[in-house]
Structure 1
Amino acid sequence: MTDTIRIIDLFAGPGGLGEGFSEYQTDTGSFPFKIVASVEKEQSAHKTLTLRAFYRQFRGRKVPDAYYKYLSTNEKRSAEEFFSEKCPEEWAAAKQETLGGPKALGSEDHEEIFSEIERAIEDHSGPKLVIGGPPCQAYSLVGRARNKGIKGYTAEKDDRHFLYQEYLKVLDLVQPDIFVMENVKGLLTAKVNGESIFEKIRKDLLCPARAVNSDREQIEYELLPLASPLEDLGGLGHFQNKDFVIRAEDFGIPQARHRVILLGVRKNLRKGNIQGELLAKWRSDAHITPSQVLADLPRLRSGLTRHKPNDFNSWRDNLYNGLSKVYSALSFSQAAQDLAQRAYESASGDPGQGGRFVPLSRSLATKMPGWLKDWYKDDAMVGVVNHEARNHMPEDLHRYLFASCHASVNKGASPRSADYPEELAPAHKNWKSGNFADRFKVQAENRVASTVTSHISKDGHYFIHYDPSQCRSLTVREAARIQTFPDNYFFEGNRTQQYVQVGNAVPPLLANYIAEVVHDIIQESEAL
């Protein structure tokens, strides 16, 4: 490589996609990708993004103890106050990378954003890359179902449907060698005025300058799927929409996350034919499961909502009060009943609810493959961050205990509403209607996890921990592990905001694989 590959990261969220590219390392030990501008409008996500940009300033150098101190103490000062004093140069560089504050594409921030992007790439003769995905709420199946319930809602007036046009404008400005655009699978079936949104996006991405009526050079791109075998690129039109879907679980990501990812390559960049499946190197039938990525995290207990005192004894008493109901409901399996009994008996000491930082007093057994451990772990970490269990309604803990025991003896299958006896059923008139059949979902020990979504911030019922003795939903750190964020990746904001950030992100490990594909394409073009 003759120069660093500069990256513009749009709709960056907490930085999952950028993290994968930034952490890509060549066989010679170099890190060819450098993020020079990240755009994110949500304040807490922007704080997370800036903190990670600060961490990256020390690549090739020892990360200062101050970084780990900030993570491991209940620091009352913000990262801005903490690091601008201790590491002023690196903090200033991180702030510049994230444009000094939250910025929204398609808003009054337009001129400032574009000016900062131009600054970031000026006098750069090496390769350039644009990554990111417009907000997906308007395209997702859940979002579209929700929108139907909004009086007077019309897709034609929803600005989120057209934020991809801001992405096009940046492509026109930067004229990158390659771009990566990610979105939800629901994009494939979304329509506005009867027209397929995805078909229009595909067409517009072939020549962004033409799509936005720009006077700049009309750079043309080829759109390549990453997880489907490629035909001769002369037959590019043969790709079907579904070919652009990546099933993350097939590539070592411990969740069933299916996303549309488009790889755009300048037509004049490709000097040879590209064949086969671009991500084939990482495809595997051996799926990674929750137990492999969560087993070594400190055990926690949930708290009790609207209950005083909210302490360990109250939690244990509540568990005991529901034990007979759960035990009876599990009468179909002695093994399941034994699990419920052991869950109560194991509650002899208070593991606590965790918090911003949970110290590790001893090394816990891990089921991680070595390569995955290398990705997550940081030897300088002496604990776990963002690991705090939520409070739950007392009755829900009984349902969690029942569900986790049920799943443990049924090959990971969570109980359906019809499996719950009357004494464990929620007080909802439509509970038995079938609309709430999978209201409580266990992230089973040895089955790929469900897609981690932003909805985890509002409802833990769909993300129940597989361990019956913990009786709770997943913490932010556990969700981050399933999303493949490294353990030293700290999420700013309150707990709800942290969940949203994790749920909206691209799995960094998947992004890391895509980074190698992009690097290889650029390297091959320079070699010819």
Structure 2
Amino acid sequence: MHQKILVIDLFAGPGGLGEGFSACSTEDGKLAFKIGISVEKDPAAHKTLTTRALFRKLITNNQARQDYYKYVMGKITREDLFRKYPKEARLAQEETLHSPQTLGEDNEIIHKRIKELVESHNGFKIVIGGPPCQAYSLAGRSRNAGNKDYRAEEDHRHFLYKEYLEVLSIAKPEVFVMENVRGILSAKVNNKLIFPQILDDLKQPSIATGTTNMRGYKIYSLVVNSKSPENPDYQNHSDFLIRAEEYGIPQARHRVILLGVRDDIKKIPDILVKTKNENNTVKNLISDLPRLRSGLSKHQDTDERWMIIVSNYLDQLSQYFEKQGKAEAFSKLNLNLSKELKRNCSMNNGTKDILMPNFLRNWIEDKDLNVVLNHETRGHIETDLLRYAFCAIYSMLYDGISPKSRDFPAELAPQHANWSTGKHADRFRVQSANKFSTTITSHISKDGHYFIHYDPTQCRSLTVREAARLQTFPDNYYFEGNRTQQYVQVGNAVPPFLAKQIAEIVFNLLNE
């Protein structure tokens, strides 16, 4: 009898890692993994997790899938959906512990459930997840550096990985997968790098937690081959860094991912296989989605007003690029504004010409889904619309290059004290059509300046769905919460398609 591998998902966010593992299947088409628990403290992300957990339990029932589509289209309420399928709803809520839970604060509830799952499971177990990264991220450390009262050794976020160790000591999994930002490699506490200590603790959780009868772990890279099954030997810590764009993800996302394997397992795990696909571009991933206009904040927001404003801006930019010797190239651009553009579009009336690579299309597309989820623009102040249009046109005229602050006309410079110092050279960044995107981060929830759409006639930042596409979330993945909360969830997630590739490596290792 096929025994699924039990997954314990910590710091789960909206479920990017879990989605990849839950989709991994055996050669005969059976699911290889079963998520037993997903722990998340953020209410909006927790709601997303629970909705997705229910979807996975309804997926094989055609009528239930149709009811799920009715929910995400707004035709029935979430309560209606959960009430109609009480057994599956109960299991989904059990999976996410019925409510948001915080490791370190709600350990009695979390640990109790993990113990129950482990005791009732006869098979392999894995722990996955990434402790919150604010203390390790370069942006977070930059903010902390500006706070004279900040003490790294007093920041509990540096030590949340110890909650991960506690779960390892309870579950005693054969394998674990731990993810974090690249800044963890250089983060310091008491002027000492913290990453070597994290590695040592993960290799011997029993020492760090005082647990008896527990084996240690060998820590493998997922991108650099180990020389020895007895003692994985890596030249430097950067060997643990995964550049997601090299593995089919249309995004320059660089993250540290550690693969822990119990030390009595002799087989050396495989590494990720690089993808040679030049079609993994922003345009190919999102151009089939319905075209939308940006919103107008602080002023009356109507289609007519937006048309007048953006038309005037395009005329101004025509004159600017003419001065730059780009008049002929500018004239060849298709900058015709459409009166049909709206701020949101749930019905799938985008283009039918889907350009994304087949391996991603098969992963992302849901042919039964006749709506586009989470596809609504935010509002922008009028002067930023002019800067967005400038960035998008600049990228079109200069081979996909996003302009730096020095490239902006003086009249487009924002009233920012550091604008001309070079410290904010990338204050505005267009996601160029024919390249993979820059890293989708939670900062996209703030203002959108780093995530400008490549099409100047839409004159806006990316929507939640477009960001989710670049993160490789399936189109039927519905993000709960308000739009700001949705952006945060997408930005913090592990790309599910990358997670699926990691899941296949784990399954192949344990299947031996």
- Which of 492, 499, 507 aligns to 2:480? It is 492
1:351 aligns to 2:341 (yes or no): yes
| Structure 2 partner of 1:35 | 35
Q: Which moved more, 1:295-304 or 1:118-127?
A: 118-127
User: Following superposition of structure 1 onto structure 2, how do residues 296-307 of structure 1 map, counting pairs within 5 Å?
Assistant: 296-307=288-299
| CA separation of 1:286 and 1:362: change in aligned 2, threshold 3 A | closer
Q: In the alignment, residue 73 of structure 1 is paired with which amino acid? A: G
Distance 2:88 2:265 in 1: 34
Partner of 1:322: 313
Q: Secondary structure at the match of 2:372?
A: strand
Q: What is the one-letter code of the residue matched to 1:288?
A: N
2:361 match: 373
Q: Which residue does the alignment assign to 2:69?
A: 68
Mapping 1:118-517, distance limit 5 Å: 118-214=115-211, 216-270=212-266, 272=267, 274=268, 278-280=271-273, 282-284=274-276, 286=278, 288-308=280-300, 310-331=301-322, 332-334=325-327, 336-338=329-331, 342-343=334-335, 345-347=336-338, 349-354=339-344, 358-361=346-349, 363-517=351-505
Shift of 1:238: 3.7
The CA RMSD over aligned residues, in Å, is 1.6
**Residues 332-384 of structure 1 deviation map (CA, whole Å, 9 limit, x = unaligned):** 323552366x42x333x2320116xx102465311112221110111221010
Per-residue deviation, 1:41: 0.2
Could you tell me whether the CA contact under 8 Å between 1:335 and 1:409 is conserved in 2? no
Cα distance in 2, alignment partners of residues 166 and 256 from structure 1: 29
Supply the AA of the counterpart residue of 2:190.
N
Show CA shifts across 1:222-276 (max 9, x none).
Answer: 1000011221234424442110000000001000000000000111122x4x27x
Hey, what does 2:109 align to over in structure 1?
112
- Distance, in Å, in 1 between the alignment partners of 2:420 and 2:319 is 20
State the AA in 1 paired with 2:260: G
Output the CA distance in 2 between the equivalents of 1:235 and 1:90: 44
- Unaligned 5+ runs, structure 2: none
Higher mean Cα deviation, 64-73 or 95-104? 64-73
Cα deviation for residue 284 of structure 1 reads 2.7
| Corresponding residue number in structure 1 for 2:26 | 26
> Per-residue CA shift, 1:440-460, capped at 9, x if unaligned?
101001111000000000020
Query: Does structure 1 retain, via aligned residues, the 8 Å contact 2:218–2:231?
Result: no
Residues 97-108 of structure 1: matches in 2 within 5 Å? Answer: 97-107=95-105
Separation in 2, partners of 1:203, 1:368? 42
Letter in 1 for 2:53: A
Distance 1:385 1:399 in 2: 28
Query: Which secondary structure does the structure 1 equivalent of 2:319 belong to?
Result: helix
Q: Secondary structure at the match of 1:36?
A: strand
Contact 1:329 1:420 in 2 (8 A): no
Please say if residues 178 and 263 of structure 1, whose CA atoms lie closer than 8 Å, have aligned partners that are also in contact.
yes
Q: Cα deviations across residues 184-242 of structure 1 (Å, max 9, x unaligned)?
A: 0000000111221111110001111211112x312111100001122123442444211
Contact 2:280/2:357 (<8 A) preserved: no
SS in 2 for 1:418: helix
Shift of 1:430: 2.9
Q: Which amino acid aligns with 1:197?
A: I
Query: Is the partner of 1:242 in helix, strand or coil?
Result: helix
CA deviation vs aligned residue, 1:455-506 (integer Å, no higher than 9, x gap): 0000201100011111000000000000000000000000000000000000
Structure 1: distance between partners of 2:395 and 2:351: 27
1:93 maps to 91
Q: CA deviation at 1:2?
A: 4.3
Higher mean alpha-carbon deviation, 156-165 vs 236-245, is at 236-245
Deviates more, 1:403-412 or 1:514-523: 403-412
On the 8 A contact 2:444/2:451 being kept in 1, the answer is yes
For residues 55-95 of structure 1, the C-alpha deviation after alignment (integer angstroms, 9 at most, x for no partner) is 111344334311000101265x4x2x222321111111100
Shift in Å, 1:515: 0.4
- Specify the SS of the correspondent of 1:167: helix
Counterpart CA distance in 1 for 2:356 and 2:277 is 16
Q: 2 CA distance for matches of 1:18 and 1:184?
A: 18
Report the counterpart of residue 523 of structure 1 in structure 2: 511
In 2: Cα distance, 1:383 partner to 1:205 partner: 44
Cα shift at 1:26: 2.2
Once the 2 structures are TM-superposed, how far is the Cα of residue 432 of structure 1 from its aligned partner? 1.7
SS of corresponding position for 1:354: coil
- Structure 1 runs, 4 residues or longer, greater than 4 Å off: none
Q: CA deviation at 1:285?
A: 5.9
> Unpaired runs of 5+ in structure 1?
none
Q: Does the 8 A contact of 2:5 with 2:125 survive in 1?
A: yes
SS at the partner of 1:386?
coil
Measured against aligned partners, the alpha-carbon deviations of 1:414-456 in whole angstroms (never above 9, x if no partner) come to 1111211122221224322212212110100111100000000
Provide the aligned length of Structure 1 versus Structure 2: 509
Q: Could you tell me which amino acid in structure 1 is paired with residue 302 of structure 2?
A: D
Q: TM-score, normalised by structure 2?
A: 0.96
Stretch of structure 1 that moved more, 224-233 or 378-387: 224-233
Retained in 2: the 8 A contact 1:339–1:468?
no
Which letter does structure 2 place at the counterpart of 1:436?
Answer: H
- 1:93-126: CA deviations, max 9, x gaps? 100000111000001x110110111122222120
Contact 1:21 1:33 in 2 (8 A): yes
Aligned with 1:385: secondary structure?
coil
Give the match's secondary structure for 2:178: strand
Tell me, what secondary structure is at the counterpart of 1:359? coil
1:285-308 residue CA offsets vs partner (Å, 9 max, x unmatched): 636110111010000000111011
